[in-house]
Chain A
């Protein structure tokens, strides 16, 4: 466990040395907040926090691949993967350490977005349990997307390829239901596809319904992609 922590610590501080992480975080927070103020606050004149979480959700396909793209791609490109994976760290510990670091960094970015609910609190009385549920949903979607992004990064030594690949998978997970709703699908398949959709699960959590099925969904997505990540790493295909 101390080794997972050592990997995590290094990775986490690594984000602060990477200009890219700053730039993307600023773009993400800036875009989400400006769009929210423009389209929701000014148009409706109401502080609608559930809409804010929607905006955060739809910004995540962009910010998370940007955070995770370097995770393995850079290690492979610079050869440091050989250093890391010959230290007394097994592949799981390395995968988990990196995953936790990305999750922590993402959580930090999300903490910065608390500006909006806090200013809402100054203006009126926000529904704090709803805010909590909204953030829980954002974190769970984030956890799933980070696992996707890390897996993509383990496939390639190019950060750009990792970024584009993760964006595509994240967008698919966000839009799979809308995409297939256009077709008449057999009931079972339709149900399955709506189950795969990240947004569906997010909506029910954001509404305040914390259902074990939704939690299980996110945990399964995370586990699935982390297992794949470890599998690709184990194959050492790039070496």
Chain B
């Protein structure tokens, strides 16, 4: 099959799905969002991370045309959120924090209302709603009132609401907050599935969530952007060093000579010794993993390894490191 259309179309429409430039939002004296800029490309799943109160929700509210920005410019699919608000609204699906829903309506009635407001023609309405019911797994609660739903089902109804018009862009504010571990896994699976077709931006203060679902992260703290990149890029930014933990048994001078001459290594440090097992940190050049080299060195010089691993900083470490940066 020829695929020129999408190929060329894809090249041409290289403009970002979400473009935030110098966004500032103040509430009285408090600057909730302070000159934030980032971009989200088509098909990306971006995690918007930050401690509570960092300005995540505020940024999302500006992106979804709920709050006007004080300064800066936001574009969604090429449309300005202020001057072309209706165009933007049609293209996004938004799940606000805590998934607010009309309590007194039935799930069915609620989705019907959303479809009406979204201007989905009567002939397509049933199909679209049925598709959402299936995608979000809310068949068992369709006839129930929203006030009777469990937190997990509420969240799913919120997602169904956000996607019924098949938007290009999904904006979700803490989609898994308040859910139990099983529900969290289910919602994450759902987001991953959606991420294959749509551009998704989701906020969270839970790192494992971003790790599990997102291809890129934007980290903000106290209204300022402090990191933007893939998990690896962000972790490199945070750690600076590339650390291998090695426990070795053998002649200390031999071991240290090997480490010194190891190609790609920038240094090492003896941490301690426990019943003849020497504990080292070996630092490598950026992005270079040295486990194989260390193993080869051990084999060559006849010392034994009790432990050898390349330390990948967890997102937790990175996050704490980045968001507490200015307190140190």
A86 touches B94 (CB 8 A): yes
Contact bitstring B58-92, A, C-beta under 8 A = 1, else 0: 00010011111000000000000000011001101
A8-B163 Cα distance, complex, nearest whole Å: 23
Using A14-B104, A79-B96, A79-B100 as known contacts, say yes or no to A87 and B118 having CB atoms under 8 A apart: yes
Contact partners of A207 in chain B: CB under 8 A: none
> Contacts A83-B96, A86-B89, A239-B67 given: A18-B118 contact, CB under 8 Å?
no
- Among B45-53, B109-117, B282-290, the one that faces the other chain is B109-117
Chain A residues within 8 Å of chain B by Cβ, number: 23
- A220 at the binding interface (Cβ < 8 Å): no
A83 near B100 (CB under 8 angstroms)? Answer: yes
B105-136 CB contact bits vs A (8 Å, 1 = yes)?
Answer: 10001000110111100000000000000000
Q: Are B116 and A6 in contact (CB under 8 A)?
A: yes
Counting CB contacts under 8 A, is A78 at the interface?
A: yes
Knowing A14-B104, A83-B96, A88-B86, the reply to whether A239 touches B119 (Cβ < 8 A) is no
Q: Which residue of B lies closest to A17 (CB)?
A: B104
The smallest C-beta distance from B205 to any residue of chain A, in angstroms, reads 19
Interface presence of A185 (CB below 8 A): no
* One of A3, A79, A86 near B64 (C-beta < 8 A): A86
Cβ of A119 within 8 Å of any chain B Cβ, yes or no, is no
Q: Which of B280-325 contact A (CB under 8 A)?
A: none
Is B101 part of the contact surface with A, judged by Cβ < 8 Å?
A: yes
Asked if B102 CB lies within 8 Å of chain A CBs, one says yes
CB nearest to A93 among chain B residues: B117
Q: With A10-B102, A78-B100, A80-B101 as given contacts, are A86 and B117 in contact (CB-CB < 8 Å)?
A: no
Chain B minimum-CB-distance residue to A236: B67
B204 proximal to A (CB < 8 A): no
In the bound assembly, the distance between CA atoms of A139 and B300 in angstroms comes to 97
Q: Is the CB of B118 within 8 A of A86?
A: no
1/0 per position for A2-13, CB-CB distance to B under 8 A?
110011011001
Q: Do A3 and B117 have beta carbons less than 8 Å apart?
A: yes
Residue A89, interface by CB 8 Å: yes
Cβ of B161 within 8 Å of any chain A Cβ, yes or no, is: yes
Give the CA-CA distance A236 to B68 in the complex, in Å.
9
B98 near A79 with CB under 8 A, answer yes
Do most interface residues of chain B lie in helix, strand or loop, or is the interface mixed?
Answer: loop
Please name the residue on chain A nearest to B147 by beta carbon: A17
B161 — nearest CB in chain A belongs to which residue?
A83
Q: Which of A9, A17, A87 contacts B89, CB < 8 Å? A: A87
* A88 close to B104 (CB less than 8 A): no
Interfacial residues of chain A within 79-123, with CB under 8 A of chain B in the complex: 79-80, 82-83, 85-90
Q: Which of A2, A13, A80 contacts B119 (CB 8 A)?
A: A2
Contact check, A239 vs B86: say whether CB atoms are below 8 A apart: no
Query: In the bound complex, what is the Cα–Cα distance between A9 and B116 (angstroms)?
Result: 10
CB distance from B40 to the nearest CB of A (A): 18
Would you give the shortest CB distance from B243 to chain A, in whole angstroms? Answer: 44
Q: How far is the CB of A20 from chain B (nearest CB, A)?
A: 11
Taken together as a complex, chains A and B put the C-alpha atoms of A87 and B89 apart, in Å, by 6
- B232: Cβ under 8 A from any A Cβ: no
Give the distance to chain B from A92, nearest Cβ to Cβ, in Å.
12
Does B148 sit at the interface, judged by CB under 8 A?
no
Assuming the A-B contacts A6-B113, A7-B117, A10-B113, are A82 and B66 also in contact, with contact meaning beta carbons closer than 8 angstroms in the complex? yes
**Is A85 in contact with B66, judged by CB distance below 8 angstroms?**
yes
Set of chain A residues within 8 Å of B114, measured between Cβ atoms: 87
- Chain A residues with CB under 8 Å of B68's CB are 236
Q: Which residue of B lies closest to A85 (CB)?
A: B66
CA distance A90 to B104 in the complex (A): 23
The 5 closest A-B pairs by CB, nearest first: A79-B100, A6-B116, A17-B104, A88-B89, A86-B64
Task: Enumerate 26 A-B pairs (CB-CB under 8 Å) in ascending A order.
Answer: A3-B117, A3-B119, A6-B117, A9-B113, A9-B116, A10-B102, A10-B113, A14-B102, A17-B104, A17-B105, A18-B104, A82-B61, A82-B100, A83-B96, A83-B100, A85-B65, A86-B92, A87-B117, A88-B86, A88-B89, A88-B90, A88-B117, A88-B119, A89-B89, A236-B67, A239-B61
